[in-house]
Structure 1
């Protein structure tokens, strides 16, 4: 299963690369524009939320590592966002390597509100990548609202 998940993450990287290439065509001020229709979030805050969710679920919840979250004020352009995602990529590789022999083993995870749940590393990995795609769609929608014509950023594209 480890090699399948590694391959799956490479597909995520490809789709993310298409999104970041597209984001390079968007003016920085638009990347930072907070849209009322998205709870006053910007494309950058959406992307950083996803990066921080990788940290929360993989590092803090499953691996029990106390890594600092990415700070919004330190990520105000696409270059800094991409740098944060390079750290996310390293984390994903570490996570998959650490759990390659126990991806199905249930673990107790404590949520920020103190509630606990049991999930396997496989379930958590699935959650973070689908969560990324949810927010990738929101970033595309936000750009459309700002007058841009999005490109295809799916895993399967021409």
Structure 2
């Protein structure tokens, strides 16, 4: 089953690449606050996505104690690409660790001392659906900033 999840993640990466290429080619200012999104920026949204991967796969899933990207600081497309390169490495490490036991219950504590149990499959599903949700928001933000985004939901191989 890990082979299927790896293939699925390659499709996620392909869609992400279309988005990042668009942002770079259009010179989207990833630091411009967008009022319709509570004055968050495209940079905030994308680093938030990377942080969620770090939190759920790296820290909750693998107990790594990873720090987080400062999603409130000014950034650029290069730093965002670097963050997603780190995410790719993290996902690979996650698959390497749990690939033979994707139904293993992982018990962890999150903010407020709340304890949860999730499987690697559940954690992976959460982070990729979360990415697609926020990718859509980032593309909407680009549109509100005057750029016409490409369709990033098409599956490309």
Q: Match of 2:112, SS?
A: coil
Q: Match of 1:138, SS?
A: helix
Contact 2:103–2:121, Cα closer than 8 Å, also in 1: yes
1:89 aligns with 2:88: yes
1:113 aligns with 2:112: yes
Contact 2:34–2:145, Cα closer than 8 Å, also in 1: no
Deviation, structure 1 residue 111:
1.5
Q: Which runs of 5+ in 2 are unaligned?
A: none
- 1:8-157 correspondence runs (5 A): 8-28=8-28, 30-72=29-71, 76-156=75-155
Q: Which runs of 5+ in 1 are unaligned?
A: none
**Aligned-pair Cα RMSD in Å:** 1.6
How many residue pairs get matched? 157
Q: Using the alignment, how far apart are the partners of 1:73 and 1:138 within structure 2?
A: 17
Contact 1:11–1:155, Cα closer than 8 Å, also in 2: no
Q: TM-score, normalised by structure 2?
A: 0.94
Q: TM-score, normalised by structure 1?
A: 0.93
